[in-house]
Structures are given as structure tokens and as C-alpha cells.
């Protein structure tokens, strides 16, 4: 028998090794999936557990998501519209990469596989040219003035 | 653990695969905990089942503040305690009574005995439930006293004293076995 | 007509964002939100859109290829709001970009492009400040950029690589500023302390690799066949649900042997399961090597051997197919990490030498002991003086590039 000083070690090393049965796994997973679906269904359509929904759990994350969504939203909108005053969007749309694909993990991984770190940099350059950070024809100053009028 | 964080992210986005992987990852450990606490495999399976079903229902809103394993272990411990209260209220079974031995094992208990290390199961069974719970969470599930105290809603001093008394009792049981 | 509509919509969107920010219980800036990404995202929409020429000029100035001019200075001044938001962001340790991991290969990582752009804008500002003699401010901005690099983080190997690239750029800024500035002991001592500070986060290749393992293993399913084909073929523009197109792309580009392509195109669930298991085991082996404390050459060699294993097995073992085709050469990524850290070490060592010069009026004859060294060899740099200043030579070779580096530091006379 172990000396009493080793009691903690004795308990620790004799941790029981129990394994679940196949029936238990099946029952638990089926019921869990059902519970999961029920929760998802119970939420209104706009509250489906999509990324935006989850991200908005905190106020700050809500703002982060809003800002990100607006950047992407504006960029996509501008990229998909016809020619702007400067004709910039037309020029950008001629670039071969698709706006929805250009900065995905897939495209970036492929870019890296092809050209190393320069591939990633080139992809970032192309993304900025296609999607752009904001429309060229409007500044934040214009926005505030516009909103006051 | 980053893997757990990613699994939780995916789970929150409705990924059944993530839920399955969380289950696969922790099911045996959690069942082991429930079996040690309740000494009834059937009840233990129910506890783990209920914990996962309840966890699945939090999809989209689940927030992980500590470790996923710690969270799930706490849920199992809390659920096991509720079951134990129900059981002791119903029949005051020997399992929850101090001094109970393992001779009363039924066929199901035998099944557990085959899977467990044997001797420890009998020793832990002689401890009051509250002491057994703390010892198992701390030594088998590597939860800190502070973490246990928070999850069980008791003070850290209570946790430490239950742990100490539990170990003292185990020592005295072991010594008595040695002297015999 | 269309332009007006676009403008109106854009205006409305911006105003909504502003209202959202203003309507929150506390103003979002300057108070401390708990997520730096929020401020970065604001910063991205606040900088002035530049035409291609200006974008190139900003990048060239940030890289030290051209001197500042009035046009660039005006542009950078117009980006002041954006820079200030970025500065505020770097004061917040936590940064969650809100990546949608559940989208797997299709996960958008647009923030990397924006962050890189921001780093160029601040890089240009650093060069302007240095050119105006505001060395301390310029150096301080370098640490802002360094923090941005840390925030980019290690959520994926791509993020990790961008983070390394930013770190390298910071080292280059500091190296150039040190060459231009007079040896001011106070500034140099401050710089030495700043360089020794432990950042709030150190991106880790292991973390990035584990994230990739999670993402990729979840994608190794029959339903993801098209994306997998696209990834393996190297084409990023494959239409969803169009397996025939994907396959023809693969075959036309001749990037894969027909056998592997056929396996992918015809593989059943069991094929993908076996591939997933093989992949996870392979990634775990890579992780074990990275976890070890072996010297660089040993780690690189083992990573290389591991990477070659599935390629060698692919003919006989169909379960090795996806691993052979998808796993990048982690030995090379590991080398990039060591290269970046070695460059940073060279800057820290150089600062110590500049301090000696400031104190004694001359460069030391030998390198003082106990300074950070070359991580390729785990030995100190070999130091030599030359007409312009001094050179720190690596003693070990970058095995990925088959090159031994030397870092030259100029000293203002």
C-alpha cells in the first residue's frame, strides 16, 4: 500500500478509464443535434447563428462587425456598379480576380504556394485595387456636410 | 486551447461537426467523472447526455470564459449533484452514505468495476459526496480550487477544507487497510 | 443618375456607421474598447483614397526607395485621422478580427490587405518624420507598426506571414533611422529599452499551424471536393458546384498527375476520412518538431523530411493525397520566422553598438558579450567594422534560401 504522503499521487494515477458505448454516443449526439436545431429554429430569421449574429454579442464586436460589413459592403457595391465619375470601377473590374474570391483563405493560400510571401503581397495589392477602401469621389467631410443638409 | 476556441466558434455558427468533435474529445473524461461521482453507470450516462443536450441548446450564444473541459466538467459535476440529491432523497442509497462499501455492487456496478482501477472506486465511495466531488475535480480533472469554488458557488476555503478532510479520510482508510 | 444613387447609398451607409458609433453608450474613440479590431476597421475607412501613383509613392517611400515630397506629405496629413485611430488600436492588447472560421477555405481575410496598406501609410509617415529630424517620434511610430504586426497575429499561417513581413519592415525602418540620426545617448537608451519590451502578443507559427489544421481537416469532406480541387490545382477562381470545370482546370494546368486528380474527383467519404486522419497525424508530427528545442538546422531538416514523406507515399497510399497536395513547406515558413527574428536581433545588437559609440565616441573593436545573436546558428553575430559603420554577419545559413545574411549598419559621421 502507498504511504499516506503519496495519497494525491495515488488518487491521480488511478483515474478511472471509462469509455462511452456506441448506443450512448448515438443517443447523445442525436438528441444534441436536435436541441441545436431547435435553438436555431427558435430564433428569428435574422438571428440565425451566422457570424454576424455571433459577433454582435458584445457592443464592441457589434461595432466591429458593422464597420467590417460596411467596408466590404461599400467596396462590393462600388465594384459591381457601373462607371463612376472617375471611371475607376470600370478599370478595376477588368482585373481577372473575382472580388468575392480575392481575399479568401483559399486564394491567399494559393498565392503563397505560387509566389511565396510576395504572392500574398500581390494579392493584397490587387484586392485594394479591386475593392478599394472607400469611394474616391467622396470624403468623410462631404459625408458630414451632406448629412447636415 | 486554440483548438477548443475554434471548435466553439464553429459550434456557435451551427456546425454539427464541431459539436460532434467536442463530444468525441471529452465524452470519456466526462463519463469517468460522472461514474466516479455517482457510481452508477446508467445515471452517469444520463448526466453526460443531459449536459451535452443542454450545451447544444446554447448554440449561437455560448461564451467560453475558461477552458471548455473545465466548463463541461463543472456542468457534469453540478448535474451529478442534482441527481445525487434526488437519489438520496428517494432511497438514501448506500453510495452517498459515509462508510458505504462496494459489496453492494449490482451488475451495472460490476461493469464499472471492470473499467475502473477498482481499488480507488471503493475508497472514494467511502467519502461523503461533497469531499469526493472536490477531490475528483481537482486531481482527475485538474481544476484549480478557485475554479471549483466559482463553479460550485462555494467559498474557496470550503473547497480547500473539504479537499483536506477528504484526503485525511482517504489516508486513514488506507492506513486501516495496511494495518489489517 | 447611377453615380448619384451610388453616392447617396454610400453616404447613407457612412452616416449609419457614424450614428451607430455616436449612439453607443460611450464614445468609441478615444475611450478603450476591448477590441482593437474595431478601431482598425474605423481606421481603414478613414484614410483618403489614393490614386495608383500616390499608392505606389507611399509604398516606395515606406520602403525607403524615394525621398518624401510635398504631395506625399499632404496625402499623409489627410490620413491623420486614420493614423490616430490606428495608434489608439495599438494601445489595446485584445484584437479579434471576427474571422468566420466556419467558412473554411472561403473565409474572407480582407483585413490583411487593409492592414498592409495602413502599415505603408504609417511607414511613409515614419520616413517623413525621420527626414524632418524628428527621430524619436519616427522611432516611436515604428513601435506602433510593430504592435500592428502583433495584432495581425497568428490566426492562420497567412496572417502569421503578414505579421512577420511587418516585423521585417519595422526592423528596416529602425535600421535606416539609426543610419541617419546623430548618436543621441538618451534616444538610443530609450530605444534599447523599447526593443527589449515584451510585446503583448507574440505570433506563433505553432498556433497558426494548429488553426490551419483545424480549418483544413474540417474541410476534407466529399462536399468540399471542388474547393479541394481548386486548392490543389492552384486555381483560386473555381466556380462552386462545377466539378467538371474544376477538374478540367486541374488537368489543363497540368499541375497534378492524373492519378491524384482522379482520386480527388472520384473519392468517396471513406477516402476523405482516411485523408483527414493522415493529415491530422502529419500536422501533429510537424507540431512536435516545432515544439522541440532543437537548433534551427535540425528543425528545418526534420520539417523538410516530414514534408517529403506524403509526397513519397502518394503513389502507394491514397490517404496521403491531400496532405501531399495541400500542406505548405512549413520548413520555409519556419525559416521566415527565424529570418525575421534574426533581423530584429541584429537591430537590438546594433543599438548597443550605437550606444557605445555615443558614450565613447568610437565603435567598439569587438562585440560585447550577452547580446542577441543569429538564430540560424544560435551564436552571436560576427562583428566587423567598415568605412560606413559596421556589419553584423550571421554564422548560420538560411537553409530555405541557401543564403548567409549580413546586416549593414551605417553610422552618421
DSSP assignment of B31-53: HHHHHHHH--HHHHHHHHHHHHH
- Give the model's pLDDT for residue C205: 92
A77 touches chain C (CB under 8 A): yes
- Give the model's pLDDT for residue C287: 94
User: How high is the mean pLDDT of chain C?
Assistant: 84
Rounded Cα–Cα distance for residues C165 and C60 (Å): 16
Residue B116, φ and ψ in degrees, nearest 5: -80, 175
Inter-chain residue contact B53 with A32, CB threshold 8 Å: yes
- Reported confidence tier of residue A131, pLDDT bands at 50, 70, 90: low
Whether C3 maps to a domain, the answer reads: yes
Find all residues with CB under 8 Å of B82, minimum gap 6, and list them. Answer: none
**What are the tens digits of pLDDT across the range C196-243?**
887 777 899 999 998 889 888 888 888 888 778 777 665 433 333 333
Inter-chain residue contact B6 with C214, CB threshold 8 Å: yes
Whether C77 maps to a domain, the answer reads: yes
Inter-chain residue contact C214 with B7, CB threshold 8 Å: yes
A19 touches chain B (CB under 8 A): yes
Whether A146 maps to a domain, the answer reads: no
In order of their start, the domains of chain B are 2-179 (1.20.140.160)
Mean pLDDT of B144-150: 84
Does residue C244 carry a pLDDT above 60? no
Residues of C whose CB is below 8 A from A132: 49
| Chain B residue closest in CA terms to A51 | B13
- Reported confidence tier of residue A66, pLDDT bands at 50, 70, 90: low
Judge if C18 and C63 occupy the same domain: no
A64 touches chain C (CB under 8 A): yes
Of the candidates C91, C78, C104, C389, the residue with the CA atom closest to the CA atom of residue C226 = C104
Rounded Cα–Cα distance for residues A91 and C349 (Å): 48
The angle formed by the CA atoms of residues C345, C346 and C348, to the nearest 5 degrees, is: 65
Judge if C24 and C36 occupy the same domain: no
Of residues C142 and A113, more confidence is placed in C142
Contacts with A, C 17-46, CB within 8 Å? 17-18, 20-21, 24-25, 28, 33-35, 37-38, 41-42, 44-46
Of residues B168 and A13, more confidence is placed in B168
Whether A1 maps to a domain, the answer reads: no
Of the candidates C150, C210, C291, C281, the residue with the CA atom closest to the CA atom of residue B1 = C210
Whether C335 maps to a domain, the answer reads: no
- Which range of A39-48, C91-100, C167-176, C318-327 scores highest in mean pLDDT? It is C167-176
Last residue of a domain, one of C176, C202, C228: C202
Report how many domains make up chain A: 1
**What are the tens digits of pLDDT across the range C284-321?**
999 999 999 899 999 999 999 998 888 788 778 889 88
- Give the model's pLDDT for residue B103: 35
- Give the model's pLDDT for residue C243: 34
Judge if C393 and C284 occupy the same domain: no
Last residue of a domain, one of C149, C184, C202: C202
Whether A98 maps to a domain, the answer reads: yes
Whether C337 maps to a domain, the answer reads: no
Please state at what angle helix C296-313 crosses helix C269-291, rounded to 10 degrees: 170
Rounded Cα–Cα distance for residues C96 and C34 (Å): 9
Of residues C25 and C294, more confidence is placed in C294
Whether C333 maps to a domain, the answer reads: no
- Long-range pairs, A108-115, Cβ under 8 A, ≥24: A108/C109, A108/C112, A108/C158, A109/C105, A109/C157, A109/C158, A109/C231, A109/C328, A110/C230, A110/C231, A110/C234, A110/C235, A110/C236, A111/C236, A112/C157, A112/C158, A112/C161, A112/C328, A113/C234, A113/C328, A114/C234
Rounded Cα–Cα distance for residues B160 and C57 (Å): 65
Of residues A31 and C248, more confidence is placed in A31
Of the candidates C280, C206, C224, the residue with the CA atom closest to the CA atom of residue C103 = C224
Distance from CA of A30 to the nearest CA of B (A): 9
Whether C342 maps to a domain, the answer reads: no
Can the peptide bond before residue C77 be classed as cis, meaning omega within 30 degrees of 0? no
Contacts A–C by Cβ distance under 8 A:
187
Mean pLDDT of B41-64: 90
Inter-chain residue contact C34 with A106, CB threshold 8 Å: no
The angle formed by the CA atoms of residues C199, C138 and C168, to the nearest 5 degrees, is: 50
Judge if C215 and C321 occupy the same domain: yes
Does residue B67 carry a pLDDT above 90? no
From the list A4, A18, A19, the residue facing B174 with the nearest CB is A4
Q: Give the range among A100-114, B141-155, C29-43, C230-244 with minimum mean pLDDT.
A: C230-244
**What are the tens digits of pLDDT across the range C95-119?**
988 888 777 888 888 889 889 999 9
Find all residues with CB under 8 Å of B167, minimum gap 6, and list them. Answer: A7, A8, B135
Distance from CA of C70 to the nearest CA of A (A): 21
Judge if C261 and C359 occupy the same domain: no
B177 touches chain C (CB under 8 A): no
Q: Give the range among A57-66, A119-128, C132-141, C291-300 with minimum mean pLDDT.
A: A57-66
C209 touches C283 (CB < 8 A): yes
Last residue of a domain, one of C328, C363, C388: C328
Residues of A whose CB is below 8 A from B23: 25, 28-29, 32
Judge if C1 and C56 occupy the same domain: no
C223 touches B15 (CB < 8 A): no
User: What is the grid cell recorded at A130?
Assistant: 479591386
- Give the model's pLDDT for residue A10: 78
Whether C53 maps to a domain, the answer reads: yes
Number of residues that this document lists for chain B = 180
- Reported confidence tier of residue A43, pLDDT bands at 50, 70, 90: low
Whether A142 maps to a domain, the answer reads: no
Find all residues with CB under 8 Å of C263, minimum gap 6, and list them. Answer: C271, C318, C321
Judge if C7 and C97 occupy the same domain: no
Q: Which residues are bridge partners to C383 per DSSP? A: C392
Distance from CA of C386 to the nearest CA of B (A): 48
C229 touches C251 (CB < 8 A): no
Judge if C265 and C371 occupy the same domain: no
B1 touches chain A (CB under 8 A): no
pTM (global) more than 0.80: no
A78 touches C6 (CB < 8 A): yes
User: What is the grid cell recorded at B6?
Assistant: 475554434
The angle formed by the CA atoms of residues C79, C82 and C85, to the nearest 5 degrees, is: 150
Place of cell 534616444: C187
Distance from CA of B162 to the nearest CA of C (A): 38
Tally DSSP H helices, then E strands, for chain C: 17, 3
**Chains touching chain B, criterion 3+ CB pairs below 8 Å:** A, C
Judge if C237 and C273 occupy the same domain: yes
B168 touches chain A (CB under 8 A): no
Rounded Cα–Cα distance for residues A69 and C20 (Å): 13
- The string of DSSP letters for C133-190 reads T-HHHHHHHHHHHHHHHHHHTTSSHHHHHHHHHHHHHHHHHHHHHHHHS---HHHHHH
Rounded Cα–Cα distance for residues C184 and C177 (Å): 12
User: What is the grid cell recorded at B102?
Assistant: 462496494
C336 touches chain A (CB under 8 A): yes
Judge if C322 and C393 occupy the same domain: no
Contacts with A, B 30-69, CB within 8 Å? 31-32, 35-36, 41, 44-45, 48-49, 52-61, 63
| Chain B residue closest in CA terms to C101 | B10
Query: Residue C6: which domain range?
Result: 1-29
Whether A122 maps to a domain, the answer reads: yes
Inter-chain residue contact B2 with C210, CB threshold 8 Å: yes
Of the candidates C294, C350, C404, C15, the residue with the CA atom closest to the CA atom of residue C181 = C350
**What are the tens digits of pLDDT across the range B102-134?**
333 333 333 333 434 556 777 788 888 888 888
- Give the model's pLDDT for residue B6: 75
Alpha-carbon Rg for chain B, nearest whole angstrom, is 17
Of residues B2 and C306, more confidence is placed in C306
From the list A61, A120, A132, the residue facing C158 with the nearest CB is A120
B171 touches A5 (CB < 8 A): no
**What are the tens digits of pLDDT across the range C274-293?**
999 999 999 999 999 999 98
Rounded Cα–Cα distance for residues C163 and C158 (Å): 9
Rounded Cα–Cα distance for residues C289 and C299 (Å): 6
Inter-chain residue contact A27 with B170, CB threshold 8 Å: no
* Terminal-to-terminal C-alpha distance of chain C: 62
**What are the tens digits of pLDDT across the range C331-376?**
999 999 999 999 999 999 999 999 999 999 999 999 998 899 999 9
Residues of B whose CB is below 8 A from A58: none
Judge if C25 and C36 occupy the same domain: no
Whether A52 maps to a domain, the answer reads: no
From the list C207, C210, C218, the residue facing B17 with the nearest CB is C218
B164 touches chain A (CB under 8 A): no
Rounded Cα–Cα distance for residues C205 and C366 (Å): 34
Distance from CA of C288 to the nearest CA of A (A): 23
Rounded Cα–Cα distance for residues A140 and C18 (Å): 10
Of residues C223 and B76, more confidence is placed in B76
Residues of C whose CB is below 8 A from A87: none
Residue A93, φ and ψ in degrees, nearest 5: -65, -15
- Give the model's pLDDT for residue C5: 54
Residues of C whose CB is below 8 A from A65: 98
**Chains touching chain C, criterion 3+ CB pairs below 8 Å:** A, B
Whether A73 maps to a domain, the answer reads: no
* Terminal-to-terminal C-alpha distance of chain A: 87
| Cα within 13 Å of Cα(B20), Cβ side | 9
C102 touches B9 (CB < 8 A): yes
Judge if C197 and C52 occupy the same domain: yes
- Segment (H or E) for A67: helix A59-80
- Give the model's pLDDT for residue C255: 45
- Reported confidence tier of residue C11, pLDDT bands at 50, 70, 90: low
Q: What is the percent of chain A where pLDDT is above 70? A: 44
Report how many domains make up chain C: 4
Query: Residue A98: which domain range?
Result: 86-134
Does residue B53 carry a pLDDT above 60? yes
Amino acid at each position: 500500500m502507498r504511504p499516506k504522503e503519496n495519497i494525491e499521487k495515488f488518487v491521480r494515477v488511478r483515474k478511472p478509464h471509462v469509455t462511452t458505448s456506441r448506443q450512448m454516443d448515438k443517443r447523445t449526439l442525436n438528441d444534441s443535434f436536435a436541441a441545436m436545431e431547435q435553438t436555431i429554429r427558435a430564433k428569428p430569421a435574422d438571428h440565425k447563428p451566422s457570424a454576424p449574429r455571433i459577433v454582435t454579442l458584445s457592443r464592441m464586436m457589434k461595432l466591429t462587425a458593422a464597420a467590417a460589413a460596411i467596408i466590404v459592403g461599400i467596396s462590393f457595391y462600388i465594384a459591381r456598379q457601373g462607371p463612376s465619375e472617375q471611371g475607376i470601377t470600370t478599370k478595376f473590374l477588368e482585373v481577372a480576380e473575382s472580388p468575392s474570391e480575392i481575399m479568401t483563405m483559399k486564394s491567399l493560400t494559393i498565392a503563397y504556394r505560387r509566389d511565396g510571401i510576395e504572392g500574398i503581397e500581390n494579392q493584397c495589392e490587387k484586392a485594394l485595387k479591386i475593392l478599394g477602401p472607400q469611394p474616391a469621389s467622396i470624403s468623410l467631410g462631404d459625408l458630414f456636410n451632406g448629412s447636415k443638409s | 486551447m486554440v483548438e477548443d476556441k475554434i471548435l466553439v466558434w464553429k459550434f456557435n455558427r451551427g456546425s454539427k461537426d464541431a459539436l460532434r468533435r467536442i463530444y468525441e474529445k471529452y465524452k470519456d473524461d466526462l463519463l469517468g467523472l460522472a461514474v466516479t461521482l455517482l457510481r452508477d453507470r446508467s445515471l452517469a450516462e444520463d448526466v453526460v447526455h443531459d449536459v451535452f443536450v443542454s450545451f447544444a441548446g446554447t448554440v449561437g450564444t455560448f461564451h467560453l470564459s475558461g477552458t471548455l473541459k473545465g466548463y463541461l466538467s463543472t456542468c457534469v459535476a453540478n448535474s451529478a449533484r442534482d441527481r445525487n440529491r434526488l437519489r438520496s432523497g428517494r432511497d438514501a442509497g448506500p453510495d452517498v452514505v459515509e462508510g458505504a462499501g462496494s459489496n453492494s455492487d449490482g451488475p451495472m456496478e460490476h461493469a464499472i468495476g471492470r473499467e475502473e482501477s477498482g481499488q480507488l472506486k471503493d475508497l472514494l465511495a467511502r467519502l461523503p459526496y461533497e469531499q469526493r466531488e472536490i477531490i475528483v475535480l481537482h486531481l482527475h480533472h485538474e481544476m484549480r480550487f478557485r475554479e471549483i469554488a466559482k463553479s460550485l458557488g462555494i467559498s474557496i476555503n470550503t473547497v480547500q477544507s473539504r479537499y483536506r478532510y477528504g484526503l485525511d479520510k482517504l489516508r486513514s482508510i488506507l492506513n486501516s487497510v495496511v494495518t489489517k | 443618375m447611377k453615380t448619384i444613387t451610388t453616392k447617396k447609398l454610400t453616404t447613407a451607409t457612412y452616416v449609419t456607421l457614424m450614428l451607430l458609433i455616436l449612439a453607443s453608450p460611450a464614445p468609441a474613440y478615444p475611450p478603450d474598447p476591448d477590441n482593437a479590431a474595431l478601431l482598425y476597421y474605423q481606421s481603414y475607412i478613414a484614410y483618403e483614397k489614393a490614386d495608383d501613383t500616390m499608392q505606389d509613392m507611399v509604398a516606395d517611400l515606406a520602403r525607403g526607395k524615394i525621398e518624401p515630397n510635398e504631395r506625399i506629405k499632404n496625402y499623409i496629413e489627410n490620413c491623420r485621422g486614420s493614423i490616430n485611430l490606428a495608434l489608439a488600436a495599438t494601445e489595446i492588447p485584445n484584437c479579434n478580427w471576427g474571422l468566420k472560421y466556419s467558412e473554411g477555405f472561403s473565409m474572407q481575410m480582407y483585413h490583411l490587405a487593409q492592414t498592409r496598406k495602413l502599415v505603408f501609410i504609417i511607414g511613409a509617415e515614419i520616413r517623413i518624420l525621420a527626414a524632418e529630424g524628428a527621430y524619436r517620434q519616427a522611432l516611436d511610430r515604428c513601435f506602433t507598426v510593430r504592435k500592428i504586426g502583433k495584432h495581425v497575429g497568428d490566426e492562420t499561417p497567412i496572417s502569421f506571414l503578414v505579421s512577420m513581413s511587418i516585423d521585417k519592415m519595422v526592423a528596416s525602418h529602425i535600421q535606416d533611422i539609426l543610419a541617419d540620426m546623430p548618436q543621441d545617448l538618451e534616444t538610443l537608451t530609450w530605444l534599447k529599452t523599447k526593443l527589449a519590451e515584451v510585446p503583448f502578443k507574440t505570433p506563433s507559427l505553432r498556433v497558426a499551424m494548429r488553426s490551419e489544421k483545424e480549418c483544413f481537416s474540417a474541410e476534407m469532406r466529399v462536399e468540399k471536393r471542388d474547393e479541394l480541387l481548386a486548392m490543389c490545382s492552384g486555381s483560386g477562381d473555381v466556380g462552386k458546384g462545377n466539378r467538371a470545370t474544376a477538374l478540367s482546370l486541374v488537368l489543363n494546368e497540368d499541375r497534378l498527375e492524373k492519378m491524384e486528380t482522379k482520386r480527388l474527383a472520384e473519392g468517396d467519404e471513406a477516402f476523405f476520412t482516411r485523408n483527414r486522419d493522415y493529415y491530422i497525424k502529419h500536422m501533429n508530427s510537424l507540431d512536435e518538431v516545432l515544439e522541440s528545442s532543437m537548433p534551427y538546422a535540425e528543425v528545418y531538416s526534420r520539417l523538410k523530411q516530414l514534408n517529403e514523406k506524403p509526397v513519397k507515399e502518394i503513389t502507394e497510399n491514397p490517404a496521403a493525397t491531400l496532405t501531399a497536395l495541400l500542406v505548405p513547406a512549413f520548413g520555409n515558413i519556419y525559416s521566415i520566422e527565424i529570418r525575421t527574428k534574426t533581423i530584429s536581433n541584429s537591430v537590438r545588437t546594433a543599438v548597443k553598438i550605437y550606444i557605445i559609440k555615443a558614450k565613447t565616441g568610437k565603435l567598439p573593436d569587438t562585440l560585447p558579450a550577452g547580446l542577441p545573436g543569429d538564430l540560424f546558428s544560435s551564436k552571436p553575430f560576427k562583428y566587423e567594422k567598415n568605412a560606413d559603420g559596421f556589419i553584423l554577419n550571421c554564422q548560420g545559413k538560411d537553409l530555405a534560401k541557401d543564403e548567409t545574411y549580413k546586416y549593414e549598419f551605417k553610422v552618421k559621421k
